[in-house]
């Protein structure tokens, strides 16, 4: 018997079996639902010549800020709003800080630090700015996996015409797996919250 571990007891086997069933059920529920919400969400586009009152580039991916800048430079909006929750001492985010420090002449640039530093904080800022400026039509830029949940959050804070536009990104298989879990947990949080 030396060299062998202790035998698995019956209560431990039951716990392992229950955990395995829970994992299988979670996969069976999350995979099809997540596919619709995260991999193939309802997205909008800004067609050639189409404009909006403002574009909000969500934080979390630096590519989103630069995609917003590209759209503003193409004349799709006169106002670019950039959520900038990034730490100032991290060189990886310096390009976004440089963008926020720039002074474009063809459009108005608004950078802000969301409070709280979540999509909800970003949606609140958008709702406040839209009310102050009379914006009736805005576009929000987000990663594909974040589109559906963002729409449900922004809809609580903004009453106008909302376009959810996908930021073009290359997303690794590992990140897809991570985002399925993260976004699902985020939906649980959204369901528990009320109002904007």
Q: How far is CA 118 from CA 76, 86, 164, 186, 189, in A?
A: 26, 12, 17, 10, 12
Q: Please give the pLDDT value at position 1.
A: 46
Q: What is the pLDDT of residue 72?
A: 97
Question: Model-level pTM?
Answer: 0.78
Look at domain 54-192 and name its CATH class. Answer: alpha beta
- pLDDT for 95 equals 92
Q: What is the predicted pLDDT for the residue at 49?
A: 82
- How many C-beta atoms surround the C-beta of residue 138 within 10 A? 23
Question: pLDDT tens digits for the chain (196 residues)?
Answer: 445 655 655 566 666 656 555 555 555 455 555 555 565 678 888 887 899 999 999 998 899 999 999 999 999 999 999 999 999 898 989 999 999 999 999 999 999 999 999 999 999 999 999 999 999 999 999 998 879 999 999 999 999 999 999 999 887 777 667 667 777 776 667 777 788 9
Q: In what order do the strands lie in the sheet with 137-142?
A: 108-112, 79-83, 54-57, 137-142, 161-166
The domain spans of the chain are: 54-192
| Contacting residues for 7 by C-beta, under 8 A, at least 6 apart | none
Q: Are 164 and 42 in contact (CB under 8 A)?
A: yes
């Amino acid at each position: 018997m030396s060299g062998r571990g202790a035998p698995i007891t019956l209560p431990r086997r039951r716990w392992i079996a229950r955990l395995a069933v829970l994992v299988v059920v979670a996969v069976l529920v999350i995979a099809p639902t997540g596919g619709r919400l995260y991999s193939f969400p309802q997205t909008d586009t800004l067609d050639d010549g189409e404009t909006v009152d403002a574009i909000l580039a969500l934080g979390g991916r630096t590519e989103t800020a630069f995609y917003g800048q590209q759209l503003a430079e193409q004349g799709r909006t006169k106002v670019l709003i950039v959520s900038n929750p990034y730490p100032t001492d991290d060189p990886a985010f310096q390009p976004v800080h440089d963008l926020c420090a720039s002074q474009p002449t063809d459009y108005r640039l608004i950078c802000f630090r969301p409070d709280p530093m979540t999509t909800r904080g970003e949606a609140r800022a958008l709702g406040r700015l839209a009310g102050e400026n009379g914006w009736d039509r805005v576009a929000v830029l987000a990663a594909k996996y974040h589109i559906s949940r963002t729409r449900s959050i922004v809809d609580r804070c903004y009453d106008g015409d909302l376009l959810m536009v996908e930021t073009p990104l290359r997303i690794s298989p590992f990140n897809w797996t991570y985002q399925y879990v993260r976004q699902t947990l985020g939906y649980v949080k959204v369901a528990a919250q009320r109002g904007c």
